[in-house]
Amino acid sequence: MRVVLSTISRFHSFDLARQLLRHGALTRIHSGYPWWKLSGEGIPRALVDTWPWIVVPRMALARTGILRGILHAGVDEISQTRFARHVARTLPDCDIFHCLSRYALEPGRVAQQRGARFILDVGSSHIATQHRLLAAEADALGIAIDLPHPHAVERELAEYETADLITVPSEFAINSFVAEGVPRGKLVKVPYGVDLTRFKPRDTDEDGVFRIVFIGALSLRKGVRYLAQAFHRAAIANSELVLIGSQTPETPKILADLDMTGITMTGHVPQPELAGWLSRATVLVLPSIEDGYGLVLLQAMACGCPVIATTNTGGLDCVEEGRNGFIVPVGDVDAISEKFVWLADHPDEARAMRQAAIAQAAQASNVTRYGDDMMAVYRTLLADGAAAAAGVRP
């Protein structure tokens, strides 16, 4: 089996690439990142194609806040189409082409024309669901954000239609596609896995701090405003909230009127340092308005950190309520703060949750299982295609 992956940066795609390499199935992985950002991913240079010439400058400009409105949409569309066309031009022969959404249309069609099967990798909910949830949230808070441009929406909908199969990581994501009219038979749920060589408990000094950690972009989508409010509402003695991740143009609007006492914003933290933060944390919170999964949930568990996640994440797929974490409704400040108070008031149970989180990551949510499950998806798709082809032969 020959599999080609394509991703605009790294995401979970390089976790999958390492597993395909283990299975002897990886032909190539395309990325919009430069090699120097990928050299530590454990994939031989000869199997990695990089094309960072538009993608990286676009990401840099987006972080500065320069790209807004029409300008942002225009640059984003150029980035998507140019990278996709590059992959289409350089795509090697393969049996499976598995590509991250919004960058898949042109190479997916090329792969199909050559007889390969095109699988679309969607790490979020259906784009119409995303748009609706984020637009409603922005309206409720009275702020303006850059929602997906109509051209981007049209492009992704065309990818949904063109792909032979769509992989999504969570029950929340798959339900969003079904609700939007995508046939259930075109969808496969393959939850992510965590790399246990990179994320595991680290020896840390006990400092007695009740430490709440968030990891991700400080954006409206991630629900950080509700987390900050819950932190203050819980009012736990000797506590702190650590927000790890880059600020976005939305960040000042989201946090502008909030009390930031006891809240630390670290900015971006390199991935090798995250395990240390998670090992020192009392709890990791993913309060997202919309999140296809949230791989950080598994990363936290692997480090022995219980989690709190909203229903609009992959939490329903990996959290056992009260055993390794908690599930809360979207935007429910009281529910989040009540879980903080419970953890502070039940230290013995909280310690037991740390061990349960480690067990969940090791047994059910590791990256080896993810790779094996995806290989099974590939084999089934190829077998179904062969059977269909045999059925139409004279």
Q: Which two tokens stand for residue 253?
A: 């609007």
Query: In whole angstroms, what is the distance from residue 49 CA to residue 6 CA?
Result: 9
Which residue carries 């394509």 as its tokens? Answer: 6
CA distances from 234 to 11, 90, 229, 230, 254 (A): 33, 54, 9, 6, 20
The answer, yes or no, to whether residue 390 has pLDDT greater than 60, is no
pLDDT at res. 71 = 42
For 73-82, the CB contacts below 8 A with 24+ separation are 73/146, 73/149, 73/151, 73/152, 76/149, 76/152, 77/149, 77/151, 77/152, 77/155, 78/54, 79/32, 79/54, 79/55, 80/152, 80/155, 81/106, 82/53, 82/54
Query: In whole angstroms, what is the distance from residue 19 CA to residue 11 CA?
Result: 14
For the chain, list the domains and their CATH numbers: 3-193+367-391 (3.40.50.2000), 210-363 (3.40.50.2000)
Query: In whole angstroms, what is the distance from residue 81 CA to residue 119 CA?
Result: 18
Mean confidence (pLDDT) of the chain? 91
* Beta-ladder partners of 30: 6, 49
Rounded CA Rg of the chain: 21
Averaged pLDDT for residues 183-190: 96
pLDDT at res. 248 = 85
Look at 126-140, 343-357, 379-393 and tell me which has the smallest mean pLDDT.
379-393
Percent of the chain with pLDDT over 90: 79
Query: Does 384 or 277 have the greater pLDDT score?
Result: 277
Q: How confident is residue 105, by pLDDT bands cut at 50, 70 and 90?
A: very high
Output the CA torsion sign for 129, 104, 120, 5. Answer: negative
Averaged pLDDT for residues 71-77: 55
